[in-house]
């Protein structure tokens, strides 16, 4: 009976671990509550209607179909039994000999969970769909609204948090307003919409070198995004938000708010910490051993965004795809060595490939080691890297086509509002005008 390796999560880490175990004389089960691998770096393009879900997802079964030692299981892992070496599912359980936990992160609202209703974050495909519908629905309501103040509130788009996702979203929303929707309405001008980016730190992109923050801020300004730094959000509701700054508090009426100001480890991290006694950091990430295993349970590994692993500089590794894939490959190698009785491996070492964020047309920032650059070259690099990292050739071709059309004619096809989605949005009914009169009948 071959050994059974169970992998929880089909993201970058889990998928890489599974692939790196190809051909080994083991049975692998990849458990995910969704049936697809999501190319998260382009999720913001789905959230803004440029790409479709099918273009950045690939069914896990399809990716792994030729790897005969892998089974994919659509199921939700909810708990662990480390002593009995079992994963508890919502509707069953699975035994393991080795366990790799790679369940990623979820949105975190720092004790204000009620904010999620009004300011969805962008971690899942469902999130992307919600944000996309909120954005395009806001213009529809604004077109019908006759109260100028409410019209303006519907035309105010606010992104909270200016990490990579935050600036990418703000840049895209600005492009929707200035280009994609131009000329399509009769009582509003989408290009007059306000796009705000709110950051609690004293500069945007706080994880990047300061010179790139300056360049990014300048690029966003040219796109028409208003950036507010040193602004800490203190409340969010259906009408808008309030932020605190050194001079006091300011309230912004805004009906479309996106949260990209915090993530925390998947709730599974807490379950595992409780069962194994493993400590967690402030974001709920598990403090694993240098070989990514769990203290006292050498057969359990935690990889990807869920793991707190320190880099050469002593700081925890960023939640990026390269960290997850390197960890997946490392753990796969380590399991192969153990199965071959070759003793312990060297600690995991992260090879930093740098970071890249796109801001808009011809604009991106890149920090690769000591090399910082921005502008057109960084933008081309971003396009190229993201295109080749897409997992299948068909999607690569289709994404390239979509990008080309957006580049040349500002098209944006993913704008369907589904009925059910609209009904679920928290819309203040009073705001919609009773009787519709188009203003500029020609």
Catalytic positions, please?
168
Among 19, 22, 61, 214, binds a copy of itself (CB under 8 A): 61
Judging by beta carbons within 10 Å of its beta carbon (0-12, 13-18, 19+), is residue 291 exposed, middle or buried? middle
Check if the beta carbon of residue 382 is closer than 8 Å to that of residue 356: yes
The total of other beta-carbon atoms located within 10 Å of residue 216's CB is 26
- What contacts 122, CB < 8 A, 6 or more positions away? 43, 44, 47, 107, 128, 131, 165, 169, 258, 259, 260
Q: Least CB distance from residue 163 to a copy of itself, whole Å? A: 25
Indicate whether 433 belongs to the interface with a copy of itself (CB under 8 A).
yes
**Beta strand pairing call for 286-287 and 307-308:** parallel
Residue 430 found at the interface with a copy of itself (CB under 8 A): no
* Structural contact between residues 217 and 227, judged by C-beta atoms closer than 8 angstroms: yes
Site for a copy of itself in 138-157 (CB under 8 A): 140, 143-144
Interacting positions 330-349 with a copy of itself (CB under 8 A): none
- Which is nearer to a copy of itself, 69 or 283 (by Cβ)? 69
User: How many amino acids of this chain bind a copy of itself (CB under 8 A)?
Assistant: 72
How far is it, in rounded angstroms, from Cα 345 to Cα 265?
26
Q: Is-contact 289 295, C-beta < 8 A?
A: yes
* Nearest residue (CB) to a copy of itself, 179 versus 235: 179
Residue 215 within binding range of a copy of itself, rule CB under 8 A:
no
Distance, CA of 228 to CA of 234 (rounded, Å):
14
- Asked if 80 and 87 count as a contact pair (C-beta separation under 8 A), the reply is yes
Among 126, 147, 191, 295, binds a copy of itself (CB under 8 A): 126
Q: Does 117 bind a copy of itself (CB under 8 A)?
A: no
Pick from 359, 360, 358: nearest CA to 410: 360
Q: Judged by CB under 8 A, which of 19, 71, 336, 354 binds a copy of itself?
A: 71
Residue in 11, 12, 29, 278 binding a copy of itself, rule: CB under 8 A: 29
Query: Is 98 within 8 Å of 331 (Cβ atoms)?
Result: no
Pick the stretch among 147-155, 350-358, 382-390, 405-413 that binds a copy of itself (CB under 8 A): 405-413
Q: Evaluate whether 153 touches 253 at the Cβ level (below 8 Å).
A: yes
The only residue of 186, 189, 218, 222 in contact with a copy of itself, by rule CB under 8 A: 186
Q: Does 183 bind a copy of itself (CB under 8 A)?
A: yes
**423 touches a copy of itself (CB under 8 A):** no
Q: Which listed residue (45, 58, 156, 164) binds a copy of itself by CB under 8 A?
A: 58
Coil vs helix vs strand at 268: helix
CA gap 440, 185 in Å, rounded: 10
Q: Which is nearer to a copy of itself, 247 or 442 (CB)?
A: 442
398 binds a copy of itself (CB under 8 A): yes
Shortest CB 74 distance to a copy of itself, Å: 4
Q: Does residue 411 interact with a copy of itself by CB under 8 A?
A: yes
110 near a copy of itself, judged by CB under 8 A: no
């Amino acid at each position: 009976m071959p050994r059974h390796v169970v992998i929880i999560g089909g993201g970058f880490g889990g998928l890489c671990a599974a692939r790196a175990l190809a051909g080994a004389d083991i049975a692998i089960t990849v458990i995910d509550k969704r049936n697809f691998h999501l190319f998260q770096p382009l999720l913001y393009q789905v959230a803004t209607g440029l790409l479709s879900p099918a273009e950045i997802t690939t069914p896990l079964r399809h990716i792994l179909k030729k790897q005969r030692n892998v089974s994919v299981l659509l199921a939700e892992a909810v708990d662990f039994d480390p002593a009995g070496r079992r994963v508890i599912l919502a509707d069953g359980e699975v035994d393991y000999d080795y366990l790799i936990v790679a369940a990623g992160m979820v949105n975190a609202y720092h004790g204000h969970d009620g904010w999620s209703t009004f300011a969805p974050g962008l971690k899942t495909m469902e999130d992307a769909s919600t944000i996309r519908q909120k954005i395009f629905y806001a213009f529809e309501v604004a077109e019908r609204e006759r109260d100028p103040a409410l019209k303006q509130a519907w035309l105010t788009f606010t992104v909270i948090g200016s990490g990579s996702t935050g600036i990418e979203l703000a840049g895209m929303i600005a492009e929707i307003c200035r280009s994609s929707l131009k000329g399509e309405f009769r009582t509003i001008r989408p290009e007059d919409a306000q796009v705000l980016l709110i950051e609690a730190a004293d500069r945007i992109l706080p994880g990047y070198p300061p010179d790139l923050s300056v360049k990014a801020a300048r690029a966003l300004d040219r796109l028409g995004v208003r950036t507010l730094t040193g602004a800490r959000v203190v409340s969010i509701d259906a009408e808008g938000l309030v932020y605190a700054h050194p001079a006091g508090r300011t309230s912004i009426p805004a009906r479309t708010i996106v949260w990209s100001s915090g993530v925390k480890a998947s709730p599974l991290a807490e379950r595992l910490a409780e069962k194994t006694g493993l400590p967690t950091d402030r974001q709920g990430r598990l403090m694993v051993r240098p070989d990514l295993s769990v203290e006292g349970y050498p057969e359990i590994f935690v990889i990807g965004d869920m793991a707190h692993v320190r880099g050469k500089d002593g700081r925890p590794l960023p939640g990026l795809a390269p960290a997850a894939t390197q960890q997946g490959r490392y753990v796969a190698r380590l399991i192969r060595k153990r199965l071959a009785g070759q003793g312990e491996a060297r600690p995991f070492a992260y090879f930093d490939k740098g970071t890249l964020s796109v801001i808009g047309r011809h604009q991106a920032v890149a920090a690769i080691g000591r090399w910082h650059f921005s502008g057109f070259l960084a933008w081309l690099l971003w396009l190229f890297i993201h295109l080749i990292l897409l997992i299948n050739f068909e999607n690569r071709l289709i994404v390239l086509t979509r990008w080309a059309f957006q580049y040349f004619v500002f098209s944006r096809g993913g704008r369907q509002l589904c009925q059910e989605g609209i009904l679920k949005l928290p819309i203040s009914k009073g705001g919609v005008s009773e009787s519709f009169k188009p203003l500029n009948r020609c």
